[in-house]
Structure 1
Amino acid sequence: MVDLVDILDWVFVPSFNDKFDNEKISCGWENYLFESFPKKDKKEQILILTGGSDALGYGQTLPSLLTHITWPIIWVQGPLATAPCIPDKSTISVVESPKNLKELIAESTIILSCYGISLFESIYNSASVILLPVKHLCDADELTKLASFSCCKISSS
């Protein structure tokens, strides 16, 4: 089997995972290629992004922890995710696979996100970002490197 690094001139990895020991591999911020986002005024709203399938099950537990928040909360339910368990009298509204996700990210003041592309899109759009606990999604070294940029609050539990 041919190693791709041997036949390519350069490899760009959109990740903080820099465990690769090869001068042809570039990791980090400069490798994220975001589509353009609309320019929006920030609204006093919270956006929650748990990924396309909510693989870590935040929809079952997180909503009940947010009942004291008075700002509107928009929960983005991914196409493969089960509906979140929203308590009565909650400020959470659920939108399923919204076509205007870029606009929601651009206009939200606070974003809670799982580790993935949406996290970096949220940071890129100057939101105050809280990274939900990552569990097995990335390793401690990658989180340490991300923390060194002071670009988001990293939740540990």
Structure 2
Amino acid sequence: MSENKTIATTASARAFLDTVENETRRNDSYTLLDLIQKITGQPPVLWGNSLIGFGSYHYKYDTGREGDMLMAGFSPRKQNLAIYNTGFIRYPDIMKRLGKYKAGKSCLYINKLSDVDLDVLSELIEKAYDYMNKKYNS
């Protein structure tokens, strides 16, 4: 069975953010780092070479494959900020109030934080994180 490519590292999440070239994306990333750390109470951990995660959970599929994954996190991509948490889709009423974004199954894509309401984003991350924490760590 293959190993996960995305694993927690000991590298500094802040040092990684210092390397983000786009100034708006870098500043937005520092804001997200502080926001998600405050919501989760977890320190930022660099997963792989580009994901910053807060908290983790262990999963095991019926196939026997298992591993660890970040509970909440984000990545400053070249095109956008990708905010990860599989619980977002459970809250369509909150997402309607968020602002301008695109969504995948387990993440939000935001061009810049000024495109969304930060209070609503905080509410969404908190609800999704609480859901994941109860599901995997209770």
Q: What is the TM-score when the length of structure 2 is the normalising length?
A: 0.26
Q: Whose helix proportion is higher, 1 or 2?
A: 2
